[in-house]
Chains A and B, each alone.
Chain A
């Protein structure tokens, strides 16, 4: 039987989109979406007054270029690879060109959606505050997409490098180039222009030539880094599941663990003893969970920023309340996951004691979040 890379990609993409649509339906029915839409509405209602808070001395063009450059440089590559591909696909590596090209198109398309939203969000700044019109506006909507496409293409090639350090260096170069081009374009060619010589353009041209020479070298000489591609795919897939886990339990969700010894030292504050076993267990599990603690931290920060930005006390209170609801829903997800573990044998803690310990931890985390929000609003 002939190996058909294109068909394989179509099959994998189809499987993922089916899954995506299923979860999207759950999300449409769930409360989290409602909260997110409500918060977005609240923010857009106050958007103008928030923009008005930007001081006059702030170099807005460079700020925009920086945010956009970060966004176009960050190019995660979904490849839909599976663990078993290490065994079954590696022999076909040379025939997989079409497969990975399609994957790149997919990544460009998906990331462009995010880019579009970002441009839409920032456009009042560019048109309103900076006052761009005509050709400049066309460039604002065009150049970031071109850069995105180029970044997706070039970062894919640099993924063949086995040394992470070198790859990071090229990522930095990609970022430098993207920033340079964006700052140059958004400032209508004024960036790094002395006399009549547009140094910004010159440095950009040199950088791009250098990068292309390097890319050719890497591209022809090195094989694919399968383990790294797989790790990246697993990470992205895990993030997707983690996100969807907000609205629906995802059975395939695997936990990612970060050591965080600097944080787990906190558990030493808990007393030692049989009655406290479950508390120790839950606090450590929470602090080390790759995503959960991160999501909690992000929700607290988002809440703090909203409380800081929103002008009226009522709006502050509503935003803080909704974010705490989201936190509670996240933490309940942790409890549901816990129930599915087959580790009850490991530490014989009676079920009611487990439940009590979880409720205790949830209260402590919510109180902490509330304390942060209140402190910020008083400040």
Chain B
């Protein structure tokens, strides 16, 4: 199956003299959830910024559905849904106006908008917040706004950065089951996280990033084989890989 997202030998960072991520390669295919795992400062967010087209790789290439950001910046940005780690929003727009503009910018019809938005608002229990401003929301509610905006447009690829932090337990369940459903319908999902128990339960493959380099990647079984920790949890495997590096 052709990959949705292809990251090929990417080296990059915030300044040309100092690469934060080094020679990274991985792919996300339709119908799979891939976890990007690493400590604080491992390079997860930097990797994601390169994928979003906010940072340009010093070396290597990134393609979504065969297109790079440079070759088609407008359609590239429309081809993914992004849930950021810290919510970004317009102070001047209400929750509903964010959702409406999102639908508009992605070319959804009014009917599609009202049908999908209604479902999402109910699922994330945000119906009563419709006409309120994100400024008045808690961190978790802002996060829910980001989630609803990404899920609304039903893109082929989701890029999700630390989605669980700040969400209440019901919100976490809603998000994960919804992503599961998107996956079943053919979407590919890249999810950065350091909540390993959740990653182990919901993700199909894992990319372990440490100090800007990929230390291991594969399914849980492949990782077990790689480390020799048969029958162990992702937590143990991850710690082994990172500890080995320390020694």
Contact = CB atoms under 8 A, between A and B. Distances in A.
B26 interface: no
B230 interface: no
Contacts of B98: 346
Contacts of A312: none
Contact of B105 (A255, A261, A274): A274
B91 interface: yes
B92 A288 contact: yes
B88 A347 contact: no
Nearest to B80: A348
Contacts of B135: 257
A255 B104 contact: no
Contacts, number: 62
Interface string A275-308: 0110011001100110000000000000000000
A345 B106 CA distance: 12
Contacts of B101: 277, 280-281, 347
B91 A257 contact: yes
A349 B88 contact: no
A221 interface: no
A342 B88 contact: yes
Given A257-B133, A273-B104, A285 B77 contact: no
B206 interface: no
B178 interface: no
A346 B88 contact: yes
Given A257-B133, A284-B97, A348-B77, A343 B90 contact: yes
A283 to B, nearest CB: 10
B107 A274 contact: yes
Contacts of A63: none
B133 A349 contact: no
Contacts of A273: 104
Contacts of A257: 91-92, 133, 135
Interface string B136-164: 00000000000001000000000000000
B89 interface: yes
A277 B106 CA distance: 9
B77 A259 contact: no
B52 A346 contact: no
Contact of B104 (A259, A277, A285, A345): A277
Most B CB contacts (10 A, CB to CB) among A280, A284, A347 go to A347
A272 interface: yes
Interface residues of B, number: 28
B110 interface: yes
B104 A274 contact: yes
A349 B135 CA distance: 23
Given A277-B105, A347-B102, A284 B88 contact: no
A342 B55 CA distance: 13
Contacts of A284: 92-93, 97
B92 A348 contact: no
Contacts of A261: 131
Contacts of A272: 104, 110
A72 B110 CA distance: 54
Given A255-B91, A257-B92, A284-B92, A348 B74 contact: yes
B54 interface: yes
Given A288-B92, A349-B105, 20 more contacts: A257-B133, A261-B131, A274-B105, A274-B107, A277-B105, A280-B104, A281-B93, A281-B101, A284-B93, A289-B92, A342-B88, A343-B90, A345-B77, A346-B88, A347-B101, A347-B102, A347-B104, A347-B105, A348-B106, A350-B74
10 contacts: A255-B91, A277-B104, A280-B100, A285-B90, A288-B92, A342-B88, A343-B89, A346-B88, A347-B101, A348-B77
